[in-house]
A and B are shown apart, each in its own frame.
Chain A
């Protein structure tokens, strides 16, 4: 239903994440290895999401990344119909997901078009390497529908 992409839309890559931030870089290092990892306190086990270096639960600076299962559920979503940025031609969908093993940890995902989604729907992670560097953790319905192509 959408208009054909213009020339700019075909050439602009998506925004790449900063991957060397001292607090959040571990998430993207894991993504580059094809894994979903969250930051935890190594002393008390408290989850630190979004990631930071100091554990507010127990006061420890001993924190690091731990791999979690690459499964999630749909928490909310929006179908973007009004284009904001040439690298993101509409329509597309932004899903807010809660991780299966850590329901209090959420991430967002790009999905092409207007996929049929529902709250609680199971999603699996896939890993999108960007041409300019960096890897995004994206999510798609478990059955595999919903292509990874942008």
Chain B
């Protein structure tokens, strides 16, 4: 990345913060965002006056000026947004780095806030009550919604079935992913599923939502927010908890990426490989690292199958063997690739990929509730559809 002006570790995450994770916050999205950013500033030992940049997710209800006003920021010199949705978090961190390295900002807040349970529930699909017509305006929804394909979960169920067709993957393999994430949440008091163990019999006896995906193949719905403070590494080193070095970040699309927001990805050449296969190529190339170098990973897990597919896309498992990798303990705390150590979307909270960035920082600091001993290379992914981004953090030692 040196050719482009990027220097590994030139910028760092200096502060992390979250709200509590609940089903009914009783607070506005703006209050949640404010609370998470204040926590991240406190963690860094910085005042709101230090912030001159804000990056938001395109699906957030909180705009940059809302947050600036709420925090009493005197002047922003940069703002931006990424998306769509869960694709954003790692790319948002990348955009913050871009703003800092180009001199447009010095200290940038990256946040995601949502009342995902008490407010708009993404699992309910995008169709509005009383809606009669679907599609048009470049959405391509006219090819999908009228046929009853209404939600992301149903789309990922088609991907899971296809993976079973091509590679004989099993429901128990998907279950092992749900259970691994739950096991991490059992020791994370902040997790929504803290103290609620999940056994394979529980997984298999749970109700079917969209076959072959059952209840625990689906992530949580959460009211909450998460934020990080990105700044130059020298400044981050002066902060209270030091610097989590931003080693590399990548966004990438695949050829034949397809238009629209979500369902058109079913038209791609393969639905058992995601756009993360392209992100992996860019990320490994830029970072000069490979799958074997990663100590711990927070893989975007809107569904169990999403995590499974990324194990293959990033090269941790051979194509078709992601399920076996997980079922054999590969993603467990003592496995080859400890994953989603806070519990992830499946068992900690659904902050649309942002809680994964926060947990990745904890791992290089050594402060996770499910700490991987000596973790130095920490991967985060922000996942598809219809594109992906990813981030590698390294310990400052």
Contact = CB atoms under 8 A, between A and B. Distances in A.
Interface string B126-151: 01000111111110101111111111
A84 B267 contact: no
* Interface residues on chain A, size class: 35 or more
A84 B134 contact: no
B262 interface: no
A16 B132 contact: yes
Contacts of A77: 158, 161
A31 B269 CA distance: 25
Interface string A3-38: 000000000011111111101100110000000000
Interface in B142-178: 142-151, 154, 157-159, 161-162, 165
Contacts of B46: none
Contact of B134 (A17, A52, A76, A94): A17
A65 interface: no
25 contacts: A15-B131, A17-B134, A17-B145, A20-B136, A24-B140, A49-B267, A76-B271, A78-B158, A78-B210, A78-B212, A78-B213, A81-B207, A81-B211, A84-B124, A84-B125, A84-B127, A85-B125, A96-B266, A104-B269, A108-B143, A108-B144, A110-B148, A119-B165, A130-B146, A134-B146
Interface of B: 124-125, 127, 131-138, 140, 142-151, 154, 157-159, 161-162, 165, 207-213, 258-260, 263-264, 266-267, 269, 271
A105 B268 CA distance: 9
B135 A17 contact: yes
Given A17-B134, A132-B132, A80 B154 contact: yes
A79 B158 CA distance: 9
Contacts of A81: 207-211
Contact of B146 (A14, A80, A84, A92): A14
A100 interface: no
Give 4 nearest A-B pairs by CB, closest first. A18-B136, A17-B142, A78-B157, A79-B211
A23 B209 CA distance: 34
A18 B148 contact: no
Contacts of A16: 132-134, 146
A80 B27 CA distance: 34
Contacts of B146: 14-17, 110, 130, 134, 136
A115 to B, nearest CB: 12
A29 to B, nearest CB: 12
Contacts of B207: 81-82
A18 B127 CA distance: 14
A108 B265 CA distance: 12
Given A28-B142, A76-B159, A136-B147, A15 B209 contact: no
B135 A14 contact: no
B165 A21 contact: no
Given A78-B157, A88-B148, A138-B147, A15 B140 contact: no
A15 B161 contact: no
Given A14-B148, A78-B157, A138-B147, A19 B142 contact: yes
Given A15-B131, A79-B208, A24 B271 contact: no
Contact of B135 (A21, A52, A78): A21
Interface string A98-142: 000000111111100000000100000000001010101010000
